[in-house]
Amino acid sequence: MITLTHYLVLSGILFSIGLVGVMKRKNLLMLFFSTEILLNAVNVGFAAVSKYYGDLSGQMFAFFIIAVAASEVAVGLGLLVLWYKKTGSTDLDSIQMMKG
């Protein structure tokens, strides 16, 4: 029997993967994937809790979050293309000019 706990554990694992990804990944594209994973981890949580309470609003939130995530990525990808055109690199560490 898969209970709420299982879903929450899944959500937690996904979240950790996402966090590690944000920290470790240098490729900008991968970075966005990681943020997506983070957001979807939360989505899983919302959906599970929503089912548990029998309250639909949680699942509704998941849709909103997906929309927000999509728009964030849209902006991000735009910037990525711009940066690639300028420098020919998608390395996050190449964006590092303003020290001090």
Partner 1 sequence: MQTPDITYLLPLFFVGVGAILLMILSTFKNINIKKGAIASLVFLTLAIVSNIYNLNTLGDIYSVYPFSDVFNNMIVVDTYASYFSTILILGGILTILIGLHYFQRRKEFTVEFFSLLLFSVFGMMLLVHANELITAFIALEIASISLYIMIGFEKVIDKRIEASYKYLVLGSLAGVFFLLGSSFIYGATGTTSIGEIGIFVSNNIDSNMSLIILGGTMILITFLFKIAAFPFQNWAIDVYDGASLPVTAFMAATFKAAVFGFILRLVLVDFDLIRDFWDDMFVYIIIFTLAYGSFLAIIQKSLKRMLVSSSIVHTGYLLIAFVSIGVIGENAASSIIFYLVAYFLSALGAFGLIAYISSEDQLRITYDDFRGFSHIRPYMAAMLSVFMLSLAGIPSTIGFIGKFYIFTGAIESGNEILAIVGITATFVSVYYYFKLIAVMYFYRSPEMTDVPPLKGIAPLVIAVIALMIIWGGIGNTLIAYFPGVDFLIDMAKLSYKSLFIL
Partner 2 sequence: MSNFLLAWIVLIPFISSFIIGVMYLYSIKVARVPNFVFSLFGLSAPLLSFLLGFSFFLQMIGNDEIFLYKAYRWLEIDGYDIDMGFMADKLSIFMVLFITFVGWLIHIYASGYMKDDKGYGKFFFYFNFFLASMLLLVLGHGPIIMFMGWEGVGFSSYLLISYYYEDGENVKAGNKAFIANRVGDFGFIVAMVTMFYYAGSNGFDFLNLKESLLSVPVPVLTFIGFSLFVGAIGKSAQIPLFVWLPDAMAGPTPVSALIHAATMVTAGVYMVARFHFLYDLIPHVGLFIAYVGAISALFAAIIATKQTDIKKILAYSTMSQLGYMFIAVGLGGYSVGIFHVFTHAFFKALLFMGAGAVIVALHHEQNIFKMGGMKKKTPLVYFTMLIATLAISGIPPFAGFFSKDEILLTAFSSGEYLLWIIGVFTAILTAYYMFRLLFVVFYGKNYKEDKKLHFLPKSMTTPLVILAIGSILAGFIGIPELLGGENLIGSWLGNWKNSSLHVTHSTEIILMVINIFAALLGIFIAYKKFYMYDMKEVPIFTGIVWNKFYIDEIYDTLIVHKIKQLSIFISYKIDVHFIDKIVMGLSRGFIRSGHYIAKMQNANTRFYAFTMLIGISVISTYLIMVLR
Residue 45 and residue 4 in contact, taking contact as beta carbons nearer than 8 Å? no
Which position among 5, 54, 88, 93 is part of the footprint of partner 2 (CB under 8 A)? 93
CB of 71: closest distance to partner 1 in angstroms? 6
Give the C-alpha separation, 5 to 23, whole Å: 27
Give residue 88's identity as a one-letter amino acid code: G
Of 41, 49, 47, 45, which Cα lies nearest the Cα of 17?
41
Question: CB 19 → partner 2: shortest distance, Å?
Answer: 6
As measured in angstroms, the least distance from the Cβ of 67 to partner 2 is: 24
| Interface mask toward partner 2 for 30-69; x: CB under 8 A | ----------------------------------------
Answer for which of 12, 19, 48, 53 binds partner 2 (CB under 8 A) is 19
For the chain, the farthest-separated pair of C-alpha atoms sits apart, in whole angstroms, at: 55
Tell me the sheet residues that pair with 91: 27
